[in-house]
Homo-oligomer: A and B are copies of this chain.
Amino acid sequence: MAGYTALTADDLKAMLDAIGVGSVEELFDAIPEGMRLDRPIELAPGEPEQAVYADLRRLAERNVSADDEITFVGAGMYDHYVPALVDMLMERSEYLTPYTPYQPEVSQGHLQVMFEYQTAISELTGLAVSNASVYEGPSAVAAAAYLAKLARKRRRLLVSRGVHPHSRATLETMAVGYDADVVEIGLDDYVTDLDALREALGDDVGAVVVQQPNFLGAIEDVRAVADAAHEHDALVICAADPLTLGVLEAPGHQGVDLCVGEGQPLGNRLDFGGPSFGFFAATEEYLRSMPGRIAGETTDADGRRGFVLTLQTREQHIRRERATSNICTSQALNALGGVVYLSWLGRRGIVEIGELMLQRTHYARETLAALDGVRKLHDRPVVREFALRLDAPVDRVLERCAAEGVNAGYALGRSYDEYGDGLLVAITEQRSRADIDRLAEVLGAAVAAERDAAGVTA
């Protein structure tokens, strides 16, 4: 008997007696003979806690994490510092172990957190309403497109090539479900090609999707995209990096209808990609079309202020096949981490951290682009991530840097054929000038070495 169950032999006897059966097996009589597994499942035998811990630690040590190297990889998730109070709160039994607040009288804690979270996201994005979270970034983009599909019932979706490749891929997958065609809008000078966009727009376009900053780190002219789309009454969906919104204009102030994105930078761990949360904000108009949980304010029988899950008639458990989304279990705990982080950062901190990234990013970009064999991929304004071109095979350069304890960035060629020589470098408040200088040293040497090697070979 493992330590998680409590059934003693005495318990079992008494309980089977009360049930009126002679054995546990009898309770499984309902399973037809032919459907029973006639052997034990094949798994390693169970182990004591200490052994499982040791095994999971062994696996952890086979990974090179941001604890083990200086990393400049971003591309959708970023190595930000998670303040200790976020962990503490996320680990409190009271937040960690309950489920969706179906019984509001005993869930005011979480419901109020959702309400606060919605307020914070609404403030960040500059949009009137927010839900309480969706899964994560790329599926948030797809969820926004589904909303557009339901709202506009139009067949085409235009997506900028500057949108994260995972978001575009997710959209493609999901669009099969909504019978929509996803049309890509190329880049012009590394941002969404406005002419191509205008060209592609038409009255069969349900939505236009753009990302701020885009995958190449460049600041998009979101307002121009929105204006163009709105001429055709298409919805505008902006996928944004929330931690840039202290210094970048709120998408909601630039005319977007829906702003969604990956919440990980807000106090969530990297966790090899999840769990984190997706945020989902909209103009008032789309409140009743949103996916997921929404907390709303109300009063109790005595007039006390309180919070409930609201507008549930949107949801699968009430509306079933006519629901606005199928989402049920979402990312409540991660969203809690998000709002606690934003409270910790605060009104000034959100600007300061953005400004710090901005300045360091500029420094890093100029410093690296000054290296032999390294150029900027583009000159557009950037906030926290930028792209370079290397005059040497990117994979080999990365390999050399890794050997020096520096993860120099993301090889753009993994997602963009046209930038096979591209390197995407991300900055966070954890990457100091010294780290950047170290990167410059290591990257410069790696590029030089590869060029030498190529020279020798050539």
**Is A53 at the interface (CB under 8 A from chain B)?**
yes
> Which residues from chain B contact A38 at a C-beta distance below 8 Å?
none
**Is A399 at the interface (CB under 8 A from chain B)?**
no
Bound state CA distance, A429 and B51, in angstroms? 10
Bound state CA distance, A430 and B48, in angstroms? 11
Fill in one digit per residue for A264-306: 1 if any B CB lies within 8 Å of its CB, else 0.
Answer: 0000000000000000000000000000000000000000000
Shortest CB-to-CB span from A349 to chain B, Å, is 9
A349's nearest neighbour on chain B, judged by CB, is B3
Bound state CA distance, A430 and B49, in angstroms? 11
Contact of A50 among B49, B50, B88, B429 (CB under 8 A): B429
Complex interface residues of chain A between 30 and 70 (CB less than 8 A to chain B):
49-50, 53, 57, 67
Bound state CA distance, A390 and B327, in angstroms? 67
> Which residues from chain B contact A81 at a C-beta distance below 8 Å?
49-50, 53
> Which residues from chain B contact A57 at a C-beta distance below 8 Å?
67
**Is A91 at the interface (CB under 8 A from chain B)?**
yes
Contact between A49 and B92, CB atoms less than 8 A apart: no
**Is A109 at the interface (CB under 8 A from chain B)?**
no
**Is A84 at the interface (CB under 8 A from chain B)?**
yes
Bound state CA distance, A67 and B50, in angstroms? 13
Fill in one digit per residue for A83-106: 1 if any B CB lies within 8 Å of its CB, else 0.
Answer: 110001001110000000000000
Bound state CA distance, A84 and B50, in angstroms? 10
Complex interface residues of chain A between 199 and 227 (CB less than 8 A to chain B):
none
Bound state CA distance, A158 and B416, in angstroms? 81
Complex interface residues of chain A between 66 and 83 (CB less than 8 A to chain B):
67, 81, 83
A residues at B contact (CB < 8 Å): 49-50, 53, 57, 67, 81, 83-84, 88, 91-93, 429-430
7 tightest A-B CB contacts, nearest first: A50-B81, A49-B83, A50-B430, A50-B429, A49-B81, A49-B84, A88-B91
A-B contact pairs, 14 of them (CB 8 A): A49-B81, A49-B83, A49-B84, A50-B81, A50-B429, A50-B430, A53-B81, A53-B84, A57-B67, A88-B91, A88-B93, A91-B91, A92-B92, A92-B93
Task: List 11 additional A-B contacts (Cβ < 8 Å) besides A50-B81, A53-B81, A92-B93.
Answer: A49-B81, A49-B83, A49-B84, A50-B429, A50-B430, A53-B84, A57-B67, A88-B91, A88-B93, A91-B91, A92-B92
